[in-house]
Amino acid sequence: MKVFILLSVVALSSAAPQFEGVKNFFKQFSDSESDTEYVSEYVPYKTLNKTIDGDLAFEVREYAPMKWVCTDMTYDMDFAAIEKSENEDESEFGILNNFRQAFSGGKKKPSSVMFMRLFRYISGVNAQRQEIEMTSPVLSKMSPNKEAGQMKNRMCFYLDSAAQENTPAPEEDTVYLYTSEPLTVAVMEFGGYAMRDSVWMKKSAQFAEALGDRVNSVDTDSFYTAGYDSPMKFWNRRNEVMFQLKN
């Protein structure tokens, strides 16, 4: 199956002149545990405890206040369709669908629009023309409103140590600096591709259900998502869904 995917992606890249990351693709086409070559820092946190209960494994973390660069979007979602859809992003054939969408030139997903806003900022589209190293993970706070059929999404990049001290102001109106409050969360990790809101929604629902009575100690009105890997990394991917603990 891996050989089939490799040949398919090479064919896709050959058919798309805008695909400039082929050399990076071959660097990341491996079972490496992380993308340390491409990431300067990871968001710091403190693990308070870990729980393993049958098939459920999660941990409780504490994040200290820190600076982020963020952007917001509210967009329509068909929640009924999400509940009926299959987890195709998590299958190996789903990888090909992700590449087709990435290079098809069609309508951009909200998450892609948000990511590019933040990426422009760290690439130097800021008041000081300062380039900032890419960090990991990309963190989002997702707040579904099923009655209105909308998703409110806040996506953020953690600012590395240098930018924590010397933070350039954004130039785009849709991008802003944010200093987070102390945050304590219950975190479940999972693998595979999580490039669609439907995957995050399903994983958050699975996590909430698996918590059982413990779900009463967390806020499930919204949830955080953390994606650690480039889309060019196929296997051993790391994703996390988090619920904030109630005070």
Give the per-residue pLDDT at 148: 95
Let me know the angle formed at the C-alpha of 46 by 43 and 50, rounded to the nearest 5 degrees.
120
What token pair was written down for 70?
């963020």
Give the per-residue pLDDT at 97: 60
The percentage of the chain sitting over the pLDDT mark of 90, rounded to a whole number, equals: 66
Give the per-residue pLDDT at 81: 78
Q: How confident is the model at residue 24 (pLDDT cuts 50, 70, 90)?
A: very low
Q: What is the mean pLDDT of the chain?
A: 83
* DSSP H/E element including 110: helix 110-122
Give the per-residue pLDDT at 186: 98
* DSSP H/E element including 140: strand 138-145
Q: How confident is the model at residue 47 (pLDDT cuts 50, 70, 90)?
A: very high
Give the per-residue pLDDT at 233: 84
Q: Are 184 and 58 in contact (CB under 8 A)?
A: no
Assign 148 to helix, strand or coil: coil
Q: How confident is the model at residue 40 (pLDDT cuts 50, 70, 90)?
A: confident
Give the per-residue pLDDT at 95: 55
Q: Which residue has the tokens 């999404």?
A: 153
Mean pLDDT of all residues in 200-214 = 96
Mean pLDDT of all residues in 11-20 = 41
Q: Which residue has the higher pLDDT, 96 or 19?
A: 96
Give the per-residue pLDDT at 113: 96
User: DSSP for 62-103?
Assistant: EE---EEEEEEEEEE--HHHHHHS--GGGSHHHHHHHHHHHH
> Domain residues of the chain, as ranges?
2-245
Q: The domain 2-245 is classified under which CATH number: 3.10.20.30, 3.40.470.10, 1.10.10.60, 3.20.80.10?
A: 3.20.80.10
pLDDT for residue 99 is more than 70: no
pLDDT for residue 8 is more than 80: no
Tell me how far apart the alpha carbons of residues 157 and 10 are, in angstroms, rounded to a whole number.
Answer: 30
Q: How confident is the model at residue 158 (pLDDT cuts 50, 70, 90)?
A: very high
Give the per-residue pLDDT at 182: 97
